[in-house]
């Protein structure tokens, strides 16, 4: 038993239905909401939870795991032979070095810190490299340790209040870049450490853009942990702070406000709140139209070009297969200049095609995601779930195609 009096779903001999009910309750999802997202009736879900219906087939189990953000499939099934990480990818070879830099707080130094201007130039090159590289984790993983150490040093050696605020803004952005690297790797405590330090540095900087970016990433961390209320709280507070500044703000601040508006819609969609989700998407689209047509925010990817991809995400999270495909046909993927973001969009398209019953097209779209940025799809739980599901397909051709992709993603032994 746990301290709150609820059974531990990881302790045998709990049945599948009991594990499902406990995990659903912990995620704060009602039975009607989860059933609706699965395309099932609440009575069906109740019968599964009460053991009147046996464990569903693998495709349904994988969809339940996706909705409940179950990281190890065995945690849901209770079958210790089914240890499959869904929403945690493999540990990157550069993770230990990045972690060591985050964890270290040297109090002395035998060198001068670089200036904030120098750090900003390095950050700009790092963001550009991330957008251009298919192996973007490798690229930024190599750059991060020195950036983290130099950012920390710049804050410690700042001589004036203005210098310290500028250095904190740089350090906050370095932590933001770090969060892109750490996300979906097997060290959730490091992810939260990076997110919290990024927010503290941003607040100390008093820079609206830095605060907005830190809030955007913190909200994502909460949402991906199914802490929807916390995600909403961070997003709404950041928007309240930014909105009075928008009439006189530059494009960067306007873009981060638009990105936060979309995040509010994304969280609403994850909750199954159709009207709220599309309402926030509409607000974000209006904000995007205030930006120059060619503008592309280097951290959030917010822009006019990204709104089509965002519409696909909203439709997919609402489990609307037909609408997802319709939005995918409308979206201009070619206009997305970032390889990781393009790969992410392809994955969302694949989710839509699978929801619409177009499994062959979903696999083909995941192959295109792999071509765009292999390190994006390798760490993406949704892509991993679709590939695993298709390895059990009744179609031999689809099974073979999925098996090849599963091997490339490290889900199956080569």
Partners of residue 74 on adjacent β-strands: none
Q: Which residue has the higher pLDDT, 200 or 68?
A: 200
Mean pLDDT taken over the chain? 89
Among 208, 119, 102, 198, which Cα is nearest to 163's?
Answer: 119
**Averaged pLDDT, 66-94:** 72
**Per-residue confidence band for 313, with pLDDT thresholds at 50, 70 and 90:** very high
The pLDDT confidence band at residue 73, using thresholds 50, 70 and 90, is confident
Stronger pLDDT, 123 or 39, i.e. the higher one:
123
Write down the pLDDT at residue 1.
39
Question: Which has the minimum average pLDDT: 65-69, 205-209, 324-328?
Answer: 65-69
Bridge-partner residues for 72, per DSSP? 85
Lowest mean pLDDT among 87-101, 144-158, 195-209: 87-101
Tens-place pLDDT, residues 352-389: 999 999 999 999 999 999 999 999 998 888 898 889 88
- Mean pLDDT in residue range 102-114: 85
- Which pLDDT score, from 0 to 100, does residue 13 have? 63
Region 256-273 average pLDDT: 95
pLDDT confidence of residue 86: 60
Confidence of residue 261 (pLDDT cuts 50, 70, 90): very high
Flag whether pLDDT at 2 surpasses 50.
Answer: no
> Residues 205, 166: contact at Cβ < 8 Å?
yes
Q: Which pLDDT score is estimated for 157?
A: 93
**pLDDT score of 58 more than 50:** yes
Count Cα neighbours of 397 within 13 Å in the Cβ-side half-sphere.
5
What is the token pair recorded at 369?
Answer: 């995601």
Quickly state the pLDDT bin for 192 (edges 50, 70, 90): very high
Tens-place pLDDT, residues 218-228: 999 998 887 88
Which of 1.10.287.1080, 1.20.1740.10, 1.10.260.40, 3.90.180.10 would CATH assign to domain 16-77? 1.10.260.40
**Which residue ranges make up each domain of the chain?**
16-77, 90-206, 216-304, 309-414
Tokens linked to 191: 């992810």
Residue that the structure tokens 């709140």 belong to: 273
As a whole number, mean pLDDT of residues 400-407 equals 91
Q: Is the pLDDT of residue 83 over 60?
A: no
Q: Given a cut of 50, is residue 290 above it in pLDDT?
A: yes
Residue with tokens 């993770």: 95
What's residue 239's pLDDT?
Answer: 98
* Half-sphere exposure in the Cβ direction for 171 (13 Å, CA): 32
pLDDT at position 328 is 93
The answer to whether 235 and 267 have CB atoms below 8 angstroms apart is: yes
Model pTM score = 0.82
Question: Which of these ranges, 4-8, 18-22, 38-42, 156-160, has the smallest mean pLDDT?
Answer: 4-8
Say what the alpha-carbon torsion angle 241, 242, 245, 249 is, to the nearest 10 degrees.
160
Is the four-CA dihedral 402, 405, 411, 414 of positive or negative sign? positive
Provide, rounded to the nearest whole percent, the portion of the chain with pLDDT above 90. 63
pLDDT score, position 414: 45
Query: Is the pLDDT score of 84 beyond 60?
Result: no
Structure tokens at 182: 């750490």
| Predicted pLDDT of residue 56 | 86
């Amino acid at each position: 038993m746990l301290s709150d009096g609820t059974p531990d779903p990881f302790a045998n001999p709990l049945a599948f239905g009991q594990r499902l009910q406990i995990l659903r309750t912990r995620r704060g999802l009602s039975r009607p909401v989860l059933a609706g997202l699965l395309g099932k009736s609440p009575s069906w879900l109740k019968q599964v939870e009460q053991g009147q219906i046996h464990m569903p087939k693998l495709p349904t189990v994988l969809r339940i795991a996706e909705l409940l953000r179950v990281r190890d499939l065995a945690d849901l099934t209770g079958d210790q032979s089914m240890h499959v990480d869904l929403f945690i990818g493999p540990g990157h070879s550069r993770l230990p070095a990045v972690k060591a830099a985050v964890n270290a707080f040297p109090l002395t130094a035998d060198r001068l810190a670089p200036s904030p201007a120098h750090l900003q130039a390095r950050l700009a090159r790092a963001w550009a490299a991330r957008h251009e590289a298919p192996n973007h984790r490798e690229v930024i993983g190599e750059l991060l340790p020195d950036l983290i150490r130099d950012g920390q040093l710049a804050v410690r050696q700042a001589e004036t209040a203005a210098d310290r605020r500028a250095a904190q803004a740089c350090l906050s952005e370095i932590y933001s870049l770090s969060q892109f690297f750490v996300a979906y790797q097997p060290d959730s405590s490091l992810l939260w450490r990076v997110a919290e330090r990024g927010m503290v540095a941003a607040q100390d900087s008093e820079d609206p853009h830095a605060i907005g970016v830190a809030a955007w990433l913190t909200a994502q961390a909460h949402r991906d942990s199914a802490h929807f209320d916390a995600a909403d709280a961070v997003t709404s507070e950041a928007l309240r702070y930014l909105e009075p500044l928008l009439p006189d703000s530059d494009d960067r601040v306007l873009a981060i406000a638009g990105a936060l508006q979309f995040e509010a819609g994304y969280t609403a969609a994850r909750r199954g709140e159709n009207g709220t989700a599309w309402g926030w998407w509409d607000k974000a689209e209006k904000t995007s139209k205030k930006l120059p047509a060619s503008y592309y925010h280097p951290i959030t990817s917010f822009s006019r070009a990204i709104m089509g991809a965002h519409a696909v995400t909203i439709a997919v999270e609402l489990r609307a297969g037909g609408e997802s495909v319709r939005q995918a046909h409308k979206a201009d993927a070619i206009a997305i200049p970032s390889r990781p973001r393009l790969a992410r969009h392809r994955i969302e398209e694949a989710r839509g095609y699978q929801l619409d019953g177009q499994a062959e097209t979903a696999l083909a779209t995941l192959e295109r995601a792999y071509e765009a940025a292999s390190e994006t799809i390798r760490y993406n739980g949704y892509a991993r779930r679709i590939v695993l599901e298709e390895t059990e397909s009744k179609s031999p051709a689809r099974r073979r195609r999925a098996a090849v992709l599963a091997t490339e993603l490290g889900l199956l032994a080569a």
